Amino acid sequence: MRRLYLAAIAYATLGLAGGLFYREITHARDFTGNTQLAVVHTHFLALGLLVMLIVLALDATIGLSGSRWFSWFFTTYNVGLLITAAAMTWHGLLQVFGQDAGPAIAGIAGLGHILLTIGIGCLLACLDKPLRTRLTATKEN
């Protein structure tokens, strides 16, 4: 549970820093167009902070971290989110500086999304046994 709590704190920090960075870099460059930087902070706050807090609550109630899939979820999901956000930041900076983003950025972002998807699948696998145990216990009572 401590890892989930620390991850939530890290994502809250990254989310707030991402929002501040977006505001300051676009202001410093007098940039008024659309940029990927605008959504980096929401990705960190929603996909990072909120997901970690939800998983923390699930762990506290049904012992999610006891599953053999939990480490797979935690690792792949977090690596995927960090890769995705890094690609978004890179793409956004190129937009702010008026440069074209090549296909490599899209490929890296795609890899991040694939890892996020695998992480979500592992999370769903983590839920299977505790939920079956609860359902069986409920039926017996």
Q: How confident is the model over 42-98, as pLDDT tens digits?
A: 999 999 999 999 999 999 999 999 899 999 999 999 999 999 999 999 999 999 999
d(CA 45, CA 27): 22
Structure tokens at 97: 């500086």
Mean pLDDT of 115-123: 98
The single residue listed with the structure tokens 């500086």 is 97
**Residues 44, 14 contacting (CB under 8 angstroms):** yes
**pTM to 2 decimal places:** 0.92
